[in-house]
C-alpha cells in the first residue's frame, strides 16, 4: 500500500534526506515486482530502498516512488559436496542473516558481521570486510529485469563483480529480489586472511576458527571503529566507509610514498592487486592529508567520525548539503596532498553529487 513519509531521513542510517513523493512498503517478492511495474507504467522515477545504510538522499528528497524492501527470511538447502546453498530474501537485514548462519553452523559469511543494510544490497557493490567479499560465496542473484519485464536468475560469474562494484551498481534495470550463497556446514569460518583479525583471534593468517569466534572478533573490531549501528551513538550515524580505497598504478603509489616520506608522515598502507596495481588505504591518505578524527570540530553537525576517518557522521540537526561539503573538503585535501582522487562508496541519490 502506498504511504507518505515525512522524510527519508527516517529510513537512512545517516538520518538525512528530504521526503519521498510516494513510499510503497513491499513485504515479499511479488509485492516488490508489482510496485516496480506500477511505477514504470506511470512513468515515475523509482528508488528501491533496503536498509538505507549506503545511501545519501538530497535535502529536497525524492520526487518519485520509493519501494521499501521488507521481504524477510532464508532457506537452507544442503548440497551433495558437503556445502549448503542458502537463499535469502532481499529485504532481510544483513547482520540478522549472518547471525542466523553462524547459529545454524554455516560458515563463510562471519567476517561480514555487523555491516548494516539489507541483504539485497550486498551483491550490488560486492560488500567486503576483514578479508572476505560477497563474491567469495555468491552463487547467484534473482532479479526483476525491468526492461524484459521478467524475473530471472543471474549467476555470480555474470555480475561483473569487482572491488566494491558489480554490473548492478549505478544501474536500475535489475532489481534484486533474492540472493543465494554457498556456505560451509562444519561451523568453521572462512580462512582468516586479514592481519588485524588474525591478531585479535591469536591465530596465523589462513587459519579457520569457529565461525562464532570470528563473528565476535569482527563485531568487536567494528564497534571500536564506530561501524556497528547504535541509535544512541551518533558516531554510528553514517553510511559506513564514505570513500573506497583507491586502486592506482605503481607509478602513482610510488609518488604517494615519496610525498609522505618527504613530509615525514609515516607510510600509507598498500596492498598489491591481482592486476598489478596497488590498493591504497583511503583512511591513511585522509589522515596524512591533515584530516583528523572528529574534523572539523565538536560543534559541527556533520563531521568525521571520532573513531574512524573513513566515516562521515551526522550528529543531529545537519543537512545533506553539509555532508557533501565535508566530503568534498576531505576529497580535495587528499587530492591536493597526494594527487589521488577519492571516490565515494555510498549511492548518491538525485541531486547529490561531489
What secondary structure letter does DSSP report for 134?
G
* Range with lowest mean pLDDT among 4-8, 125-129, 187-191, 256-260: 4-8
Confidence at 351, pLDDT banded by 50, 70, 90: confident
Residues contacting residue 2 through CB under 8 Å, at least 6 positions apart: 22, 23, 24, 65
CA dist list (Å): 348 to 61, 148, 185, 345, 352: 12, 26, 38, 9, 5
250, 277 Cβ separation under 8 angstroms: yes
| Beta strand 74-78 pairing with 84-89 | antiparallel
Report the length, in residues, of the chain. Answer: 354
Annotated active-site positions, please?
164, 241, 345
Q: How many CB atoms lie within 10 A of CB 202?
A: 9
* Structural domains in the chain plus CATH codes: 2-69 (3.30.43.10), 74-224 (3.30.465.10), 234-348 (3.90.78.10)
Note the Cα 276 to chain centre separation in Å: 25
Q: Is the model's pLDDT at 350 over the cut of 90? A: no
Helices (H), 163-263: 195-201, 211-224, 250-262
Please provide the distance, in angstroms rounded to a whole number, between the alpha carbons at the two ends of the chain. 35
Q: What is the pLDDT of residue 20?
A: 93
Segment 234-287, tens digit of pLDDT: 999 999 999 999 999 999 999 999 999 999 999 999 999 989 999 999 999 999
Segment 14-45, tens digit of pLDDT: 999 999 999 999 999 999 999 999 999 999 99
Amino acid at each position: 500500500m502506498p504511504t507518505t513519509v515525512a522524510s527519508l531521513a527516517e529510513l537512512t542510517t545517516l538520518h538525512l534526506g528530504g521526503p519521498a513523493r510516494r513510499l510503497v512498503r513491499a513485504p515479499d517478492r511479488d509485492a516488490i515486482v508489482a510496485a516496480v511495474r506500477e511505477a514504470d507504467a506511470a512513468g515515475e522515477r523509482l528508488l528501491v530502498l533496503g536498509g538505507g545504510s549506503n545511501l545519501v538522499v538530497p535535502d529536497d528528497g525524492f520526487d518519485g516512488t520509493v519501494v521499501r524492501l521488507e521481504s524477510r527470511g532464508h532457506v537452507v538447502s544442503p548440497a551433495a559436496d558437503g556445502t549448503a546453498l542458502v537463499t535469502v530474501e532481499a529485504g532481510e537485514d544483513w547482520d540478522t542473516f549472518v547471525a542466523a548462519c553462524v547459529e545454524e553452523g554455516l560458515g563463510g559469511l562471519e567476517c561480514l558481521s555487523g555491516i548494516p543494510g539489507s541483504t539485497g544490497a550486498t551483491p550490488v557493490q560486492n560488500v567486503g570486510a576483514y578479508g572476505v567479499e560477497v563474491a567469495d560465496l555468491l552463487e547467484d542473484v534473482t532479479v526483476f529485469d525491468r526492461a524484459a519485464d521478467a524475473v530471472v536468475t543471474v549467476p555470480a560469474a555474470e555480475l561483473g563483480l569487482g572491488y566494491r562494484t558489480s554490473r548492478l551498481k549505478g544501474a536500475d534495470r535489475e532489481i534484486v529480489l533474492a540472493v543465494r550463497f554457498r556456505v560451509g556446514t562444519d561451523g568453521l569460518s572462512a580462512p582468516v586472511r586479514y592481519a588485524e583479525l588474525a591478531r585479535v583471534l591469536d591465530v596465523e593468517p589462513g587459519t579457520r576458527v569457529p565461525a562464532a569466534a570470528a563473528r565476535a572478533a569482527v563485531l568487536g573490531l567494528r564497534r571500536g571503529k564506530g561501524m556497528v549501528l547504535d541509535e544512541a551513538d551518533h558516531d554510528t550515524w553514517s553510511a559506513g566507509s564514505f570513500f573506497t580505497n583507491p586502486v592506482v598504478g605503481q607509478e602513482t603509489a610510488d609518488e604517494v610514498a615519496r610525498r609522505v616520506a618527504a613530509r615525514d608522515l609515516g607510510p600509507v598502507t598498500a596492498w598489491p592487486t591481482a592486476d598489478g596495481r596497488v590498493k591504497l588505504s583511503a583512511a591513511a591518505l585522509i589522515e596524512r592529508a591533515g584530516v583528523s578524527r572528529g574534523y572539523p570540530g565538536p560543534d559541527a553537525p556533520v563531521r568525521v567520525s571520532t573513531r574512524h576517518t573513513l566515516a562521515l557522521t551526522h550528529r543531529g540537526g545537519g543537512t545533506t548539503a553539509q555532508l557533501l561539503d565535508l566530503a568534498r573538503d576531505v576529497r580535495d585535501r587528499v587530492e591536493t596532498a597526494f594527487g589521488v582522487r577519492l571516490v565515494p562508496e555510498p549511492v548518491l541519490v538525485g541531486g547529490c553529487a561531489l
